[in-house]
């Protein structure tokens, strides 16, 4: 009857009810955090000492939560895989090795599919860490360590559908995985190795993995005229927005961007086209060293409002170029904030002193890094 009475909720009542659900689940999380005791540290030590894999198991909603916890463990430095209880008793127990640990999830601690697995794990001598409601349940009694979430009231209007309990299980699993990860000193290098794909992987990758290699860049001698440079450095495909200029030793001495060319036209300085490009290039441009992180490169480009960033080797020779059109989607949420560990004042100071002649910033998703006013370009 309670469920039926909720059927005709107005938009205001829907919002209020949604907030009640979130508040109820957040209170449950706060209560579990308050009651967390020494058993949590015992579980952390077990996982740290594990020489095999953490085998995560659960069924139904608890199983889905378990799969997410398994993924968090694996991606943060703790080898883990998921064992479906139904498949386990049909041969998949062969995946379990004596060096493994079992992390079992069951709110009641009496789930048939979980309980019938316990003797097999006990015979193998595998330690069991249980996330359940009570240490007195069948699962709790079989476990070496019990992370009890206690009795919780489900947010479902019927009080039946796993909701609050699964939220608490998930958060507790995250806490366990991340504390173990921190104890292992799992760092950015490790994280990058496990996340090579997507925007996250690109953010943590090295500049040489994302830059345009030298054979795709426009490079010319600083002694050539502007006209000679543009006649000589055409490249097939999508071109970069800048030409890198080098001295007689092949070291980067300057950069000349499409914006620089446009300004020559705007100022009617046609005579400069037949003068050495060194007279109008940006000397000693900003660069980034080979093997640096892409996150450093993107942060530098954002702070200094530039669209092209040469990559140089230890001798200052160009090896590639990072173009904003190639990386604009990597960190859209972080372009408008200082780098980690850098005070906001320092970032603001850099912005005020940025030399915008190297190129115009093109960060449409970062409202703090818009195109400089016309007077700054002159």
pLDDT in tens, 81-96: 999 999 999 999 999 9
* 180-196 mean pLDDT: 85
* Sequence-separated contacts (24+) of 159-166 with Cβ below 8 Å: 162/60, 162/61, 162/62, 162/107, 163/21, 163/25, 164/24, 164/25, 164/28, 165/107, 165/133, 166/61, 166/62, 166/64, 166/65, 166/107
Looking at per-residue confidence, does 350 or 18 come out higher?
18
At residue 272, the pLDDT reads 86
Query: Residue 372 above 70 pLDDT?
Result: no
251-264 pLDDT per residue, tens: 999 999 888 888 88
Let me know: does 214 contact 320? Beta carbons within 8 Å. Answer: yes
pLDDT of residue 8: 80
- Name which residue leads in pLDDT, 266 or 83: 83
pLDDT digits (tens, 9 = 90+) for 199-241: 677 777 888 988 999 988 989 999 999 888 888 887 766 777 8
Between helix 11-35 and helix 164-183 the angle, nearest 10°, is 50
Work out the average pLDDT over 12-33.
95
Over residues 347-357, the mean pLDDT reads 37
Q: Which tops the pLDDT comparison, 356 or 228?
A: 228
| Architecture of the domain defined by 2-186 | 3-Layer(aba) Sandwich (3.40)
In this prediction, residues 154-160 reach a mean pLDDT of 88
Q: Which of 210, 225, 177 is nearest to 80 (CA)?
A: 177
Is the pLDDT at 157 greater than 80, yes or no?
yes
Say which CATH topology domain 203-377 has: CBS-domain (3.10.580)
Distance between CA atoms of residues 152 and 31, nearest Å: 10
pLDDT digits (tens, 9 = 90+) for 40-65: 999 999 999 999 999 999 999 999 99
pLDDT of residue 204: 76
In angstroms, the CA 217 to CA 1 distance is 70
At 288, is the secondary structure helix, strand, or coil? strand
pLDDT bin (cut points 50, 70, 90) of residue 299 is confident
Average pLDDT of span 288-317: 90
pLDDT at 354: 35
145-148: strand order across its sheet: 80-82, 54-57, 101-105, 128-132, 145-148
**Domain boundaries of the chain, sorted by first residue:** 2-186, 203-377
- Under the banding of pLDDT at 50, 70 and 90, the label for residue 359 is very low
The Cβ of residue 72 has, within 10 Å, a number of other Cβ atoms equal to 19
Burial class (CB in 10 A: 0-12, 13-18, 19+), 5: exposed
Comparison of pLDDT for 332 and 189, the residue scoring more: 189
* pTM > 0.85: no
- Residue 152: band (very low, low, confident or very high) from pLDDT cuts 50, 70, 90: very high
What's the chain's average pLDDT?
Answer: 83
Helix (H) or strand (E) holding 122: helix 118-123
Residue 244: pLDDT above 70? yes
Q: In terms of Cα–Cα distance, which of 164, 163, 132 is closest to 149?
A: 132
Which is it for strands 101-105 and 128-132: parallel, antiparallel or unpaired?
A: parallel
Give the least confident one: 86-95, 161-170, 212-221, 352-361: 352-361
Q: Do domains 2-186 and 203-377 have the same CATH topology?
A: no
User: Average pLDDT for residues 155-167, to the nearest whole number?
Assistant: 91
Write down the pLDDT at residue 252.
96
Look at residue 373 and tell me whether its pLDDT is greater than 90.
no
The yes-or-no verdict on residue 156 having pLDDT over 80 is: yes
pLDDT, residue 7, reads 62
- The total of other beta-carbon atoms located within 10 Å of residue 212's CB is 20
Return the pLDDT at 287.
Answer: 94
Indicate the pairing of strand 288-289 with strand 128-132.
Answer: unpaired
């Amino acid at each position: 009857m309670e469920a039926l009475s909720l059927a005709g909720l107005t938009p205001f009542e829907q919002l209020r009810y949604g907030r009640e659900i979130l508040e109820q689940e957040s209170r449950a999380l706060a209560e579990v955090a308050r009651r967390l005791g020494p058993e949590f540290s015992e579980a952390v030590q077990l996982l740290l000492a594990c020489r095999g894999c953490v085998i995560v198991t659960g069924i139904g909603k608890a199983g889905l939560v378990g799969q997410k916890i398994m993924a968090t463990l694996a991606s943060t430095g703790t080898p883990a895989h998921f064992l479906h209880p139904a498949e386990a008793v049909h041969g998949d127990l062969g995946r379990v090795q004596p060096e493994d640990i079992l992390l079992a999830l069951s709110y009641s601690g009496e789930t048939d599919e979980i309980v019938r697995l316990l003797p097999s794990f006990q015979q193998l001598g595998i330690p069991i860490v249980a996330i359940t409601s009570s240490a007195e349940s069948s699962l709790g009694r079989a476990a070496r360590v019990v992370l009890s979430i206690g009795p919780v009231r489900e947010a479902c209007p019927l009080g039946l559908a796993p909701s609050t309990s699964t939220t608490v299980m998930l958060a507790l699993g995250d806490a366990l995985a991340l504390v173990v990860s921190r104890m292992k000193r799992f760092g950015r290098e490790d994280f990058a190795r496990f996340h090579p794909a997507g925007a996250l992987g690109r953010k943590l990758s090295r500049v040489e993995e994302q830059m345009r290699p030298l054979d795709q860049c426009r490079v010319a001698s600083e002694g050539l005229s502007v006209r000679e440079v543009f006649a000589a450095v055409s490249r097939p495909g999508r071109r970069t927005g800048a030409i890198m200029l080098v001295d007689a030793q092949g070291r980067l001495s300057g950069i000349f961007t499409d914006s620089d060319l446009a300004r020559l036209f705007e100022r009617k300085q046609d005579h400069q086209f037949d003068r050495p490009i060194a007279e109008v290039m940006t000397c000693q441009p900003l660069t980034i060293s080979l093997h640096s992180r892409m996150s450093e490169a993107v942060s530098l480009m954002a702070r200094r409002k530039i669209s092209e960033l040469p990559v140089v080797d230890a001798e200052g020779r160009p090896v590639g170029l990072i173009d904003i059109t190639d990386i604009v989607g990597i960190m859209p949420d972080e372009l408008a904030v200082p780098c980690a560990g850098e005070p906001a004042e320092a970032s603001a100071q850099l912005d005020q002193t940025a030399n915008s002649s190297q190129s115009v910033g093109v960060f449409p998703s970062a409202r703090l890094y818009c195109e400089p006013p016309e007077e700054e370009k002159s």
